[in-house]
Amino acid sequence: MNNMKIIILGAGQVGGTLAENLVGENNDITIVDCAPERLRDLQDKYDLRVVQGYASHPSTLQEAGAQDADMLVAVTNSDETNMIACQVAYTRFNTPNRVARIRSPEYLAVKDQLFNREACPVDHLIAPEELVTRYIRRLIEYPGALQVVGFADNKVGLVAVKAYYGGPLVGKALSALREHMPHVDTRVAAIFRRDRPIRPQGTTIIEADDEVFFVAASNHIRSVMSELQRLEKPYKRIMIVGGGNIGAGLAMALERQYSVKLIERDPARAEHLSELLEDTTVFCGDASDQELLSEEHIDQIDVFIAVTNEDEANIMSAMLAKRLGAKKVMVLIQRGAYVDLVQGGAIDIAISPQQATISALLTHVRRGDIVNVSSLRRGAAEAIEAIAHGDAATSKVVGREIGDIKLPPGTTIGAVVRGEEVLIAHDKTVIQQDDHVVMFLVDKKYIPDVERLFQPSPFFL
């Protein structure tokens, strides 16, 4: 398989993490940034080329090899630089695939007119705030879930839940799922026990505190969750801290169905938000102020969501809210190292915009018609949706029973989506042409093997 040449503009957290994910998967990576020390760090750690310079300048792009690159990924912290870099790469070097991170709602509001060959030639937009907002909304739709990822237009969900004492399945073997729920088809894709993956088999006994990943049709998610924990009541009252793009977007998305309060520190921004939002109560104040939280009946809040742009402020206000009686707290965290530190203690869910961005970027970089990639367990595991192409003669998967497909170690097929229908994978399920296959990988170093599995080959032996 020939190497894929990828240029990454911006060596910040997203650029660096993306490089780390792609290095060594038969990819030829060049990373561009103005800051020499960032580049030196990456060069010491990984096998990649670095170019120091201004990301959108033609001379920098030429030095980075834009003329024979397969893909350009612009993730500098400036929307404008990312847009112009795509423009220059297209006009001057004809680089085929151009992906840009765009954060400003101003550009996103007119994205259909703005981002096309005639105007600003960006093939794929990554909008981190929109991704995070959608992600948090899904967590709110499924109270008690740690992670919810949709595949095949949200027909299938991959859900992570912690098993609690009191869940009907806890202390029983996985095979009991079938007896408890004869009408619901689901597949447990992985179990993490004390942070180590266990291969799920019918005889595996579920213990309290196991993190269980299962695949089910979206309309069955709640019933499967109720087997692993006492089903939580739908949330009603939500408090959001931070009125930036994410906080405002969330309030807008939630205010019709829930009772929403939003706390914003900056008086002018709070004023603007109270005009913009129709049913949300906006307060100007500091969320780490105990009196404000008590006055606003924090003890009656179902979910407290801290999404300011300061990790420390988010963590502290959430810990305080939890102590004052908020039932669930979610926190937005930029720094990867903090995510592992806080999740699971006082803080129920830590959300990393980096992880959401990386998942979206990987979806565009993967080969072999992989249409959807999602990082799980903070990047340790991955879920992939791939389309089966070819026929029994050219494909290693089409026309075969799942039990006979040689999957890489630690890989399970969770579900197959055929048109509108969702088939939960069993050994006897036969994969057909154009099926969307949802897989779970406990170890992502096997991704290239999965890619190869789904590439039809004219010389199939």
Write out the DSSP string of 101-118. Answer: E---HHHHTTHHHHSSTT
pLDDT at 380: 63
Q: Which percentage of the chain shows pLDDT scores above 70?
A: 95
370-376 and 303-306 as β-strands: parallel, antiparallel, unpaired? unpaired
pLDDT at 70: 92
3-state secondary structure of 330: strand
Cα–Cα dist 308/168, whole Å:
38
pLDDT at 2: 61
- For residue range 309-366, list pLDDT tens digits in order: 899 999 999 999 999 999 999 999 987 777 767 766 778 888 888 778 877 787 777 6
As beta bridge partners, residue 326 has: none
Residue 370 phi, psi dihedral angles, 5° rounding = -95, 120
Select from 379, 307, 331 the least CA-distant residue to 16: 379
How many Cα atoms sit within 13 Å of 374 on the Cβ side?
21
List the 145-151 sheet strands across, edge first.
145-151, 156-162, 211-217, 186-193, 196-198
Cα 362-366-370 angle, rounded to 5 deg: 105
As beta bridge partners, residue 145 has: 161
First-to-last alpha carbon distance for the chain, in angstroms, is 16
Contacts for 370 with CB less than 8 Å, ≥ 6 apart: 363, 384, 385, 386, 450, 451, 454
Which H or E element spans position 294? helix 290-295
281-284 and 4-9 as β-strands: parallel, antiparallel, unpaired? unpaired
Q: Evaluate whether 394 touches 414 at the Cβ level (below 8 Å).
A: no
> For the chain, which ranges sit under pLDDT 50?
1, 460-461
349-351 and 421-424 as β-strands: parallel, antiparallel, unpaired? unpaired
- The dihedral built from the CA positions of residue 285, 286, 290 and 296, taken in this order, carries a sign that is positive
Structure-block tokens of residue 344: 């699971």
Helices (H), 155-230: 176-180, 221-228
- For residue range 439-459, list pLDDT tens digits in order: 888 877 788 888 888 887 665
pLDDT at 235: 93
Select from 374, 328, 383 the least CA-distant residue to 187: 383
pLDDT at 459: 52
Q: Looking at residue 408, what DSSP letter applies? A: P
Helices (H), 195-266: 221-228, 245-254
pLDDT at 226: 87
pLDDT at 460: 43
pLDDT at 458: 60
Report how far apart, in Å, the C-alpha atoms of 120 and of each of 56, 85, 114, 133, 256 are.
Answer: 13, 10, 6, 25, 35
- For residue range 142-185, list pLDDT tens digits in order: 888 888 888 888 888 888 888 887 888 888 898 888 888 888 88
- Residue whose token pair is 């026929």: 391
pTM above threshold 0.85: no
Q: Evaluate whether 29 touches 19 at the Cβ level (below 8 Å).
A: yes
Select from 304, 303, 450 the least CA-distant residue to 381: 450
- Residue whose token pair is 């979806």: 363
Cα–Cα dist 111/13, whole Å:
25
